[in-house]
Structure 1
Amino acid sequence: MAKQPMLKFVDIGRDMPEKRAADVRNHDFNEIYAEFAEAKAAEQASRCSQCGVPYCQSHCPLHNNIPDWLRMTAMGRLKEAYELSQATNTFPEICGRICPQDRLCEGNCVIEQSGHGTVTIGSVEKYITDTAWEQGWVEDIVPLADRSESVGIIGAGPAGLAAADVLRRAGVQVTIYDRHDRAGGLLTYGIPGFKLEKDVVMRRVDQLEKAGVKFVMNCNVGEDISFQAIRGQHDAVLIANGVYKTRDLRGPGSGATGIVRAIDYLIASNKVGFGDEVEEYDNGTLNAKGKKVVVIGGGDTAMDCVRTAIRQGATSVKCLYRRDRANMPGSQREVANAEEEGVDFVWLSNPVAFSGEPVSGVVVQKMRLGDPDASGRQSPEPIEGSDYTEEADLVIKALGFEPEDLPEAWAEPELPVTRWGTVQADFRTGATSLADVYAAGDIVRGASLVVWAIKDGRDSASAILADFKAAQAVAAE
């Protein structure tokens, strides 16, 4: 009888891939974690308890078959593990790198609840698919037959790319329109290389392009092409352009030079990483080198900004957040990485004004936590007379993102939006009240996780295919 490969969590402790030393990694934009070796990946996968109700799977937005591909990894059947992983996730190697596993799959691992330390699901997921690419197991997308239907996708981010993958595999003609010069959306320009190296994204874009997906880049819908023109050229349209409008700061001095948007700062840094010339980086506007940097916000975008500033050579980096550590929305793992790299977190701090032109300081009011708000988190309350000034040469606004006014920008007043400005669409199918117009990802949910965008893109693509099939059936009657 074969030896039981699983249930080793009692004998084998949790072990992450080796992490590069903070004083080494904070000088470059390479990923901070090494790959598992095959034996170590199998060992860590073998810790899975194969529980009857896999909470890791149920708490994954894509409902990935996590226990199954962990078992295949433990048994050394890596190709089968990859095939199981790819079956439910368009980009498993990307999710393995950037998903907040501590809040999703790993955070709900049964053996974690019993005190044995969660299975390192994300690291194994990354290892499986990186190995698949190295071994040539990732096959080209070749539809069994081409179809006549055409879909236009607005946005080349994770939702749009995931939808394109599903549609092109079914033989549908796909064209993606995007405002940037490279596809990938926030995967390419919003997330720094130390979390997601860009060749990982580009090889997926290349795979889609090789499969026949057409990319129309540097294309602003409403300016370079109208929304109505896109609708006229395709049998269906999927809106997947994300949310890019930055929530703004208020208060005296908030318009000073040196106060910049997180998205502009991160895009500039990532473009430089590609080897592009970026004037605002070269002239120091979007470059932290030699500066005292203050980042305002407590989400994952704020973590990306503070860690980028460290790597650019800032003299100091402080992150202001109006709640405490336990109540911040960002990944606790990212906070720990940032602290290791030299970031100073100033909890229970709220900016109320800015001094200097260009900016030279942030006037901060200390806060305390009061009663819980609608989300269940304690609401921050100001402490009177607690104001003080943090010195700053560069202030980065990382307060979250909101949708642009699409009906106005696209001259499409009939496009249904919610009171928050997101596109109003069926959460299961992405269908809107406009005929043959669908929406997926952050433009429907609001700013959310990449894994949710992938799920929404896949679901909307499946709905579009089902509607094409229904239309064919009606036409055949």
Structure 2
Amino acid sequence: MQNKGTSGPKGFVVQPRRLPKTTASVRVQDFGEIIVKPTTENIEVQAGRCTDCGVPFCQNACPLQNNIPDWLGLSAEDEMREAWRVASATSTMPEICGRICPQDRLCEGSCTLNQSGWEAVTIGSVEAFIGDTAFDNGWVEPIRPAHERGQSVGIVGAGPAGLAAADRLRSAGYAVTVYDRHDRPGGLLIYGIPGFKLEKRVVQRRTDRLIEGGVEFVQNCNLGVDVTLDELREKHDAVLLAMGVYQARALSVPGGGPGDTVPALDFLIHQNRRDLGEVDNDTWHNAKGRKVVVIGGGDTAMDCVRTAIRQGAESVVCLYRRDRDNMPGSAREVQNAEEEGVVFEWLGAPKALMSRDGTVSSVRAARMALSEPEFGKRREIVPVPGGDFDLQADLVIEALGFEPEEFAAHHNELSLTQWNTVAVARSGFATSLPGVYAAGDAVRGASLVVWAVRDGQDAAAEIDRYLRTQTEEQAA
């Protein structure tokens, strides 16, 4: 069978990979998504590049084990509704993962075309297009359980893990209440990820569907402050802990004091609140006209540098202690940042904050070098003698990663790991407390959204089995 838009049996032979982005000079003017919305014909051509290989490495590399070759093939044949049915069978939010997953490190990085010298199929853009098309055409069915089970589940955290679990549990007929510290559901999806990667309307329509399906959200509710874990256990038949990890790793260098630096999440939350229509005030962080240095090399650091550019910073430098090949963030995001005018100082570690008239004026950094590679080990970094240098800065943003909060404070019998994440059973999501489960970053530590979705879905399935067993035992 010949795919559309090709002159041969397989589109990849003649069709190049195309993922059109708005030009950098235009896209930095606002916070809209940078990927140009493709046409149906574009999607058919790109999906038709899939080789339908016998061993789908793309699927194996996907944490959700999405049936990628199947919905690519259906998309290539303009069978979008069926493609949606297949995509939504394994993922509660394909249109979100299609936008924000680091595909270059997952499915697209493992694509057979990518491995054989051709550029990978644009899997992420096809997935997002399928989801958007489903919403636009009313194919996303409302949650209408076949019957109500008469049991309830409390979920702590309205981020991707909590939302995914709420979707699956409500669909199974459980009453679901989600408790979250923020004033809107969505967690990281709403307040952490910038609009140029994920517009807020995309998240809002997901949460709207849950609300319309009967999921209750209790906002501005902090576990341990506004409600205790024991109270939730008393109220619900099962509880899922799906809190994110928001405790920022702090920069510890001479010259640093309160107010001298800005935590990455604070910086991003303020901009996302602006995008949601909230009025600016003097306490919100703004990079306009300032010399910005962002310290860190992960995806959060990339979000910060690209946000600062859009806010109108005079200059933006990303300082990272390792080289480009050893940074934890997505290579795609680094490329986007460079196109937008961000300067990267590789192999540079912060050494001190320098001040003038009581305010930060520069970051003193040490030039670093990588140790010789050793099998199975990450290369160490060592300072280069006499390699210190200064970077002008009047706004320093810390993006050094996140650690779990004090989960032990929620219950003295809740077992934790040595990394202070919630300990769960080896083969599942059950914690040391009967009827209490945990999933997502609360268990993994800071990780990818797609892993949180996977964990939320799997935890929901385990909770369903647990509650069904409880019901059967009571009936016996």
- Per the normalisation by structure 2, the TM-score is 0.97
Aligned residues: 470
Equivalent residue number for residue 88 of structure 1: 90
Q: In the alignment, which residue of structure 2 is the partner of 1:10?
A: 13
Q: In the TM superposition, what whole-angstrom CA distance separates every residue of 1:372-391 from its partner, at most 9, and x where no partner exists?
A: 47963311111122112111
Separation in structure 2 between the aligned mates of residue 12 and residue 223 of structure 1, nearest angstrom: 57
> What are the Cα deviations for residues 49-82 of structure 1, in whole angstroms up to 9, with x where unaligned?
1111100001100000000000000111000001
Tell me how far apart the structure 2 counterparts of residues 404 and 146 of structure 1 sit (CA, whole Å). 35
Measured in 2, the distance between the counterparts of 1:376 and 1:204 equals 41
Identical counterparts, % of pairs: 56
Is residue 2:192 matched to residue 1:185?
no
Q: Please, what is the CA RMSD of the aligned residues? A: 1.3
1:256 Cα deviation after fit: 4.8
Which residue identity is paired with 2:394? Answer: D
Give the Cα–Cα distance (whole angstroms) in 1 for the partners of residues 242 and 220 of structure 2. 16
Shift of 1:371: 3.5
The answer to whether the 8 Å contact 2:46/2:121 transfers is: yes
Match of 1:455 in 2: 454
The 5 A counterparts of 1:26-425 are: 26-279=28-281, 282-283=282-283, 286-356=285-355, 357-372=358-373, 376-408=377-409, 410=410, 412-425=411-424
Closer, same or farther: CA 20–203 of 1 in aligned 2, 3 Å: same
CA drift at 1:152: 0.4
Give the letter aligned to residue 36 of structure 1: P
Checking the alignment, whether the CA contact within 8 Å between 1:373 and 1:379 is kept in structure 2 is no
Q: 1:22 aligns with which of 24, 29, 47?
A: 24
SS of corresponding position for 1:360: strand
Q: CA deviation at 1:368?
A: 0.4
- Work out the CA distance in 1 between the residues paired with 2:10 and 2:65: 21
Residues 3 and 11 in structure 2, CA contact (< 8 A), matched pair in contact too: no
Structure 1 unaligned spans of 5+:
none
User: Within 1, Cα distance between the matches of 2:3 and 2:28?
Assistant: 42
CA 1:7–1:384: 2 relative to 1, 3 Å: same
- The 8 Å contact of residues 257 and 359 in structure 1, kept in 2 or not, is answered as no
Report the 3-state secondary structure (helix = DSSP H, G, I; strand = E; otherwise coil) of the residue aligned with 2:13.
Answer: coil
Q: Secondary structure in 2 aligned to 1:24?
A: helix
SS of equivalent to 1:399: coil
Deviation for aligned residue 1:258: 3.4
- The alpha carbon displacement at 1:147 in A equals 1.5
Report how far residue 429 of structure 1 moved. 2.5
Alpha-carbon distance in structure 2 between the residues aligned to 1:348 and 1:365 = 8
Whole-Å Cα distance in 1 between the matches of residues 251 and 372 of structure 2?
24
Output the CA distance in 2 between the equivalents of 1:375 and 1:270: 40
Could you tell me which amino acid in structure 2 is paired with residue 473 of structure 1?
E
Q: 3-state SS of the aligned residue for 1:62? A: coil
Alpha-carbon deviation of 1:242?
A: 0.9
Distance 1:372 1:159 in 2: 36
Contact 2:179 2:219 in 1 (8 A): yes
Question: Measured at CA, do residues 136 and 427 of structure 1 come closer, stay the same or move farther in structure 2, by a change above 3 Å?
Answer: farther
For residues 244-295 of structure 1, what are the alpha-carbon distances to aligned partners after superposition, in whole Å with 9 as ceiling and x for unaligned? 000111111121533010011101110111111343xx34x51111110000
**Matched AA of 1:324:** D
Structure 2 unaligned residues grouped into runs of 5+: none
User: What is the identity, as a one-letter code, of the residue corresponding to 2:46?
Assistant: Q
Distance 1:75 1:365 in 2: 55
The 2-side partners of 1:175 and 1:229 are apart by: 13
Provide the rounded CA distance (Å) in 2 between the counterparts of 1:262 and 1:373. Answer: 33
Give the TM-score of the pair, scaled to structure 1: 0.96
1:426 and 1:202 map into 2 onto residues whose CA distance is: 33
The code of the aligned residue for 1:286 comes to H
One-letter amino acid of the structure 2 residue matched with residue 159 of structure 1: A
| Counterpart contact for 2:3–2:77, Cα < 8 Å | no
Q: How far, CA to CA, are the matches of 1:218 and 1:109 in structure 2?
A: 42
After TM superposition, give the deviation of residue 27 of structure 1 in Å. 1.3
Residue of structure 2 equivalent to 1:443: 442
CA contact (8 A) 1:310 1:342 kept: yes
Amino acid at match of 2:366: Q
Offset of 1:111 from its aligned partner?
1.5
Please say if residues 26 and 311 of structure 1, whose CA atoms lie closer than 8 Å, have aligned partners that are also in contact: yes
Deviations 1:115-169 (A, max 9, x none): 1211110011011111111111111111111111110000000000000000000
| The 10-residue stretch of structure 1 (196-205 or 363-372) with the greater mean CA deviation from structure 2 | 363-372
| Aligned mates of 2:260, 2:211 — CA distance in 1 | 39
CA offset at residue 428 of structure 1? Answer: 4.2
